[in-house]
Amino acid sequence: IELCKDLPEGHHRVKCLKMDEAKDAYTGVYQLRTDGKFYYRDYEEDNKNLKFMFVCASGGSGYGVLGYSEVGPYEISRKNVNSSSLHSFNYLAARRYNADTMYVATSGWGVRYPETKQISQIIDKVGVTPSNNVQGALTTGDWDYKRYIPDIIIFNIGGNDTKQSSFDVSEYKARVVEMVNKLHSYYPLAKMLWTHTASNAGGYAINELTKQGMMNEGYLYETVLYKVGKGKEGSGEGTYGASDHYSLKTQIDNAEIIVDKLTSLGFIPTVDPVSFDDYIFEITTK
């Protein structure tokens, strides 16, 4: 992939972002080359950026977000080819802060269920392999959590858990608490948002985190997002077509809910929000 060419001699900065949704989480950058030379990283300058971490499944990582239509007989299905992590509410919220981002995510996984896809069980590994299961992920290297220190951690996970016939609410709650405690021990200064859509999974998690006293410790906050197919009142009624996952319109509105919560915590955005109309050229509509 050629990122740029025919640049005049001088110092240039190139930003490379991977937009694939997290189902393709095992694809990464192998090598960067230039016919000039690379400058050493300016740690002091880089560390001025806020750092976000997203712990999520498909809903928070842009599954099918660029497939768009009204709900009806001609609805565009959402799939990997019209997915984009850079159009998800997580990234769109972080973009408002010109922040660095890291996804800890993959589609179809839950906190505790299904048995073969437990993100809490592999949180200390570096990634998911093409086998797309816990067994494969456990063969990867250990995650060096000190290499990236987030200021903000956003959870959007649990919906895949409650869909399983083997779902046990007590097991789920225990893993939620374990996962939050682990990340809090790694990043004690980070603010955490547990996001949900007033779902059963969200309710179970918030109730248990409250019961354990964690919601009152000043680092963890509940944030309720719009449901699939919904959005801000008056701005898109009848235009939020979706098939089991968020459309771009809903993603944009959910990003602003995140920004409003972070603003209340003292994080002031520096970049204007995106407009849905600006993305019509790349949306699949038929």
Per-residue pLDDT of the chain (286 residues; tens, 9 = 90+): 899 999 999 999 888 877 776 656 566 778 889 999 998 888 888 888 999 999 999 999 998 888 776 555 556 667 777 888 999 999 999 999 999 999 998 889 999 999 999 999 999 998 888 899 999 999 999 999 999 999 999 999 999 999 999 999 999 999 999 999 999 999 999 999 999 999 999 999 999 999 999 999 999 999 999 988 787 776 555 556 666 788 888 899 999 999 999 999 999 999 999 998 888 887 776 6
Residue 168 contacts by C-beta under 8 Å, 6 or more apart in sequence? none
**What is the C-alpha to C-alpha distance for residues 125 and 105, in angstroms, rounded to an integer?**
12
What is the reported pLDDT for 277?
85
**What is the C-alpha to C-alpha distance for residues 25 and 88, in angstroms, rounded to an integer?**
15
- HSE at residue 245, side-chain half, CA atoms within 13 A, is 29
**What is the C-alpha to C-alpha distance for residues 150 and 97, in angstroms, rounded to an integer?**
13
Q: What would you report as the CA-atom Rg of the chain, rounded to the nearest whole angstrom? A: 19
DSSP alpha helix (H) spans, 47-167:
89-95, 134-137, 159-162
- HSE at residue 249, side-chain half, CA atoms within 13 A, is 21
Closest residue by Cα to residue 87 from 69, 68, 61, 109? 61
Residue 260 contacts by C-beta under 8 Å, 6 or more apart in sequence? none
- Coil, strand or helix: which one is 175? helix
DSSP code at position 139: T
- What are the two backbone dihedrals, phi and then psi, of residue 118, each rounded to the nearest 5 degrees? -105, 105
Angle at 270 between CA 268 and CA 272, to 5 degrees: 115
Closest residue by Cα to residue 139 from 127, 121, 156? 127
DSSP code at position 133: S
**What is the C-alpha to C-alpha distance for residues 173 and 10, in angstroms, rounded to an integer?**
55
CB 19 within 8 A of CB 63: no
**What is the C-alpha to C-alpha distance for residues 160 and 157, in angstroms, rounded to an integer?**
7
Q: Can you give the pTM of this predicted structure?
A: 0.90
